Structure 1
């Protein structure tokens, strides 16, 4: 079993690719970053090649030429540094509310991962400064709207390296970049040739935010099984639909595994045992749990494979490729394109909305007295009390928002840069949507857990399985039984935090036999 990101305090870049858990440990939980010797040597070697190209006045895109359609303009060696500063300043044009702390940290980390592969020609000192920002919790101000896949958001992050822009330290007030650096004992840097372009280019922002959405997706996919198991007990579902023989004739491994996982969580449930013959066949939202959850897990896994491949890749342009004779060559292309990430993020939206779709139906069956043997809206004095009536509305509203966000971004495009970039990936839109969808699903499943625990109170809770009883106790440690109406927002927020922090899944793992 992999360590939870909260348990990871140090991440060394260079000798191996970071895991998803290590990435989240840095972005979300402030694990410290350092570089291996191999990482440092790759960066230094690549930087030496760029300096050689500049000394020899070789024609290299973004080093001795302008950018985009300005590639036609040759830049002298004496203007190489000014070119890099100009690209950062001119590209810092995003708008809207700033990205969240963990999103900014994720992008900073992805820049270190990508540029540290030794194909970008930046100085080690520049990467050390970015690592110092991470390790001192300096979060640059980066407006989160207006990107077609790269450039604008990254421009705001790079400004702080120059002592410009804005940043906050340890969650404090926004201050100018130079002040933020000074607060933690750091100095601004002068960008050298190739460095401004390398900071802005590539799939760093889209990959970074996609990783956060992916991690949320992986957690919620497992959490959906837990919530479903609780709902099965509350609704007196029959476990027969989870028979391994039935799933052996469907060639989808995630479906069969989901059925096994649900059975494992409910293996000692007296409620399940007593109701195995309660009805011949349950409603679709109960008997199709393996199929529906399994399908979502398959597409989450496919997204994971693509996103991990992007972590392992260099998305820079041009690439500084070393040759066997000690020289190198600058190769221009389109490795900065975010289509792999955009399509994966779009798939994540659909997969997660699919989990919300079935969860909302199970929530409705528990609060709806027409479909269960429990009081209306799970309160002992309905009429005077609305009970959990409106929690189902909230779940339905969140699902509706998720559906709207699931329209794919990666099929769209525009022409930019005087038609030099005559299509764009719009992967940034896709990953922002996926991140939002993943957070909304956390709330939907928190509501299902809340409703499931309240429903268990109308049964003998002692007859629940050891796993679901442990989850019930965890929820009840923060949320008391709803005997009368109260403001339920705090309850939803408390359980959502238990979902997001991994507490619920950790409790399940501790109690699985």
Structure 2
């Protein structure tokens, strides 16, 4: 599968049609973050209807099928009558809605809802089209189910809270107000559904929440890795680093494509810099946080590329149990496709990669504010002592980096059996993906702090001119964040710059000048 993320920014994607081909990371972001409308193709509808007709046939035949005519988990030995099939589906939603803690934020809930639509629309789950239409309407009407985000081993509880709203139960936000689920549906002109056999199980089963979190983390981390090249280039420039460390001959003798790509990005961004030209022979070699940008950033990019391939495969797969095969007379296969280990392991790996990107960014930030090595005014303020300048933002980066290091511990190596040991191996992929998402946002802050300091450091090189790329980034940041002459409240500055990273504005500014950064 070609997993290359689309060059179209998610903001520009206004509609996403399911069933028209493989879903991309950018389409998930378009729906979850930027409220793109979700549509169903005719193929999508036909697949769902065919699968539903097969499961209803199975029910009429009273076949023994897990979660349809049997109980769940270790209750698989309990037989469920045809008359109780619908009650069973309601009960699984109500009994499984037991996650706790603070509710998941809007974009996470929407990403999970979207992934449920993708998963069940593949035509191997036996759900009714009307149920998926209602779930689609929740997305398109901005109904955000209340879903506490803690206590999931990989699936079930989070999704169950969301599924309650489809039944007219639970709670949801509508027009900014948290109200009972039935009221949210009524205000949007929608009606709850009565879940039929297999539907409750399918709505909460699978790797949908894992894949949703991982997709958000992946998008953030790829954007952060590209922005890290920009921040690294500007820090190198401000710290009088030598461009000679980025000579392509160096990187041609180490067989990692991403290393050479990163070096090429740095050279392109620093072309025509008067500062770089003046100091290219200033030192024999720089500190590792500058000299090894290609090696450190390149290794992170390789991990993210591998993660992208795996996550894209998962999000276009069917992760349910049982799997309904419509061909011939039909079949129901009791399987383990709900397992999230593929994505979980890569989420843990992405966390390690992002931690490496964060640590090198924090070290560059420290060099920028530390006059012992920067050859710039102490903490980048003209009158240190009376003013603290950017002393404490480096503390913030150190604190964030500490939090990242704690979160980097892999979740997927752990195991706590559930369901009376019927589920004796548990992936814990949910927290692996969730913490990767948390780390991606902390990384954005650290990069924002580095950029804030790099821009301030460039002020002290005047009248020498930075590269045209650095100048444009400088102007973008300075449009809101003025030069620090004396201490002020820095929180708004940090938020502004970090938001520029999160929304891709800094990356877009650079790419308008030199074209797409190599990846």
**Aligned counterpart, 1:90:** 95
In 1, Cα distance between equivalents of 2:366 and 2:146: 42
**Aligned counterpart, 2:281:** 277
Q: Tell me, yes or no, if structure 1 residue 78 matches structure 2 residue 73.
A: no
In 2, Cα distance between equivalents of 1:276 and 1:42: 62
In 1, Cα distance between equivalents of 2:513 and 2:463: 16
* Structure 1 residues 130-173: Cα deviation after superposition (integer angstroms, max 9, x where no partner): 00000011000000000000101011000000110000013x12
In 1, Cα distance between equivalents of 2:238 and 2:115: 44
Number of matched pairs: 510
Q: Superposed, which structure 2 residues align to 1:440-455 within 5 Å?
A: 440-455=442-457
1:312 pairs with one of 286, 309, 316:
316
Contact 1:462 1:469 survives alignment (8 Å): no
**Aligned counterpart, 2:305:** 301
In 1, Cα distance between equivalents of 2:376 and 2:146: 50
In 1, Cα distance between equivalents of 2:27 and 2:20: 14
**Aligned counterpart, 1:156:** 161
In 2, Cα distance between equivalents of 1:234 and 1:358: 16
Q: Tell me, yes or no, if structure 1 residue 201 matches structure 2 residue 205.
A: yes
In 2, Cα distance between equivalents of 1:184 and 1:342: 36
Gaps of 5+ in 2: 1-5
1:190 pairs with one of 164, 171, 194:
194
**Aligned counterpart, 2:26:** 21
In 2, Cα distance between equivalents of 1:276 and 1:481: 26
> Alignment partner of 1:271: what SS?
helix
In 1, Cα distance between equivalents of 2:103 and 2:369: 38
Q: Superposed, which structure 2 residues align to 1:47-126 within 5 Å?
A: 47-126=52-131
Q: Superposed, which structure 2 residues align to 1:84-483 within 5 Å?
A: 84-170=89-175, 172-323=176-327, 325=328, 327-460=329-462, 463-483=465-485
In 2, Cα distance between equivalents of 1:183 and 1:262: 53
Deviation at 1:432, TM superposition (A): 1.1
Deviation at 1:341, TM superposition (A): 1.1
* Structure 1 residues 28-78: Cα deviation after superposition (integer angstroms, max 9, x where no partner): 000000001111110011001000000111111111111111110111111
**Aligned counterpart, 1:484:** 486
TM-score (norm 2): 0.97
Contact 2:225 2:297 survives alignment (8 Å): yes
Q: Tell me, yes or no, if structure 1 residue 40 matches structure 2 residue 42.
A: no
Deviation at 1:301, TM superposition (A): 1.0
Deviation at 1:322, TM superposition (A): 2.1
**Aligned counterpart, 1:508:** 510
Structure 1 residue ranges, 4+ long, deviating more than 3 angstroms after superposition = none
> Alignment partner of 1:340: what SS?
helix
Deviation at 1:462, TM superposition (A): 5.8
Contact 1:461 1:469 survives alignment (8 Å): no
* Structure 1 residues 342-365: Cα deviation after superposition (integer angstroms, max 9, x where no partner): 101101110001001001110011
* Structure 1 residues 234-264: Cα deviation after superposition (integer angstroms, max 9, x where no partner): 0010011101000001011000100001111
> Alignment partner of 1:333: what SS?
coil
In 2, Cα distance between equivalents of 1:492 and 1:373: 24
Contact 2:311 2:343 survives alignment (8 Å): yes
**Closer/same/farther in 2, CA of residues 461 and 211 from structure 1, 3 Å limit:** farther
> Alignment partner of 1:222: what SS?
helix
Deviation at 1:460, TM superposition (A): 2.1
**Aligned counterpart, 2:3:** none
Contact 2:269 2:467 survives alignment (8 Å): yes
Q: CA RMSD in A?
A: 0.8
Contact 1:65 1:74 survives alignment (8 Å): yes
Contact 1:163 1:181 survives alignment (8 Å): yes
In 1, Cα distance between equivalents of 2:177 and 2:46: 37
Deviation at 1:311, TM superposition (A): 0.8
